[in-house]
Amino acid sequence: MKTLLKLAAIAAAFGLAPAAASGQAPAPAAAANQAAPVAATAPGAAQDANAAATTNAVAPPAPAALAPTPTIGQPDGRYGLSDQVTPIGVEAAWFNDTILLPVIVAISMLVMALLLWVIVRFRRAANATPSRTAHNTVLEVAWTLIPVIILVAIAIPSIRLLAHQYSPPHADLTVKVTGNQWFWEYEYPDNGIHLVSNMLSEEQDRARHEPRQLGVDNRLVVPAGAVVKVIVTSNDVIHSWGVPAFWVKIDAVPGRLNETWFKVDRPGVYYGVCYELCGARHGFMPIAVEVLPREQFAQWVASQGGHPAGARPAAAAAATSAPAAGETGPPAAATNAVAEAAPASTNSSATR
């Protein structure tokens, strides 16, 4: 009994008896102070916080969005093809304007002249007694050879254009385009960037001086003078990704990867739409491609939290080099220890 009384007196002297008797928990401030050293000793949390603060501090701002040019890269009511800004587009426009249109016009004029001549020359009033001619060798040879010559004249530049279009050079940038009902997704696998692109409202289009129903919140941004490989697919139904100024249009098919490419030297904004009837809001999933100089493109990549192609992301490099929480040595030491222990265990099992 005396021992119990002595223990109670000692507890009261150190201030433990009231708290123990009342059964109350420490005050919130005391609990916070007690928890603070634990949080401070957590290396992973401190490193994550420092990394986030450093990233936010050094991340450059995104370059100013380019303003679209009213007559380039968007419909302006003209008759004929839009201005082409890619090598394939320039070659295709030359093929259309220099070969196809003159041949079409010449054939149409010839057929029209022959019809008028037959109507006038062989009408009943001018030719009361019709001719009994049933065979003309010269005429039959002519109407056989002339179409062959026309087809050869069209086929040579056409095949050359197809060869250039489907034999792309080495790509400087790869972009994966995914169609959805009813928006586009853009992924830069080499830069670690993912974007979702939705159409702007008419009020936002007017505020940003963009064409009606063609402005988007997130443009596809590419560097000028770079060969861009576009891999196109879909998550639901068949869409079609196309930009008229690039001479590019390719279907986005679920479960399939289709590929095309373009190279634009002129910085600017270029618009397109979905060219496949894909549902109720088919007309409300536009495409906007912004071509930036290479320096500004690198700045844009950094502002989006991405990294240059071929460079390791900062988070992955830190995770590889830094030891995990609770480890006393670098990961390499543990790996070497495991590698050294592996042969011994193999030999012992073989001995058994």
Q: Which of 121-130, 262-271, 302-311, 323-332 has the highest mean pLDDT?
A: 262-271
Give counts: helices (H), strands (E), the chain. Answer: 11, 10
pTM over 0.85: no
pLDDT tens digits, 168-182: 899 999 999 999 999
At residue 151, the pLDDT reads: 94
Higher pLDDT, 349 or 90: 90
Cis peptide before 247 (omega within 30 of 0): no
* Contact predicate 143/111, CB 8 Å: no
The values of phi and psi at residue 333, to 5°, are -65, -45
Q: What's the whole-number mean pLDDT along residues 47-64?
A: 56
pLDDT band at 56, cuts 50/70/90? very low
CB-count exposure of residue 140 (10 Å: 0-12, 13-18, 19+): exposed
Question: Which one, of 227, 217, 210, lies nearest residue 271 by Cα?
Answer: 210
Q: pLDDT, tens digit, for every residue of 199-255?
A: 999 999 998 889 999 999 999 999 999 999 999 999 999 999 999 999 999 999 999
Determine whether 121 is exposed, middle or buried from the number of CB atoms within 10 Å of its CB (0-12, 13-18, 19+): exposed
Q: pLDDT-derived band of residue 63, with 50, 70 and 90 as boundaries?
A: confident
pLDDT digits (tens, 9 = 90+) for 290-347: 999 999 999 999 999 988 877 766 555 555 555 545 444 444 444 444 344 444 444 4
Report the alpha-carbon distance of residue 187 to residue 180 in Å, rounded.
14
Q: Residue 214: helix, strand or coil by DSSP?
A: coil
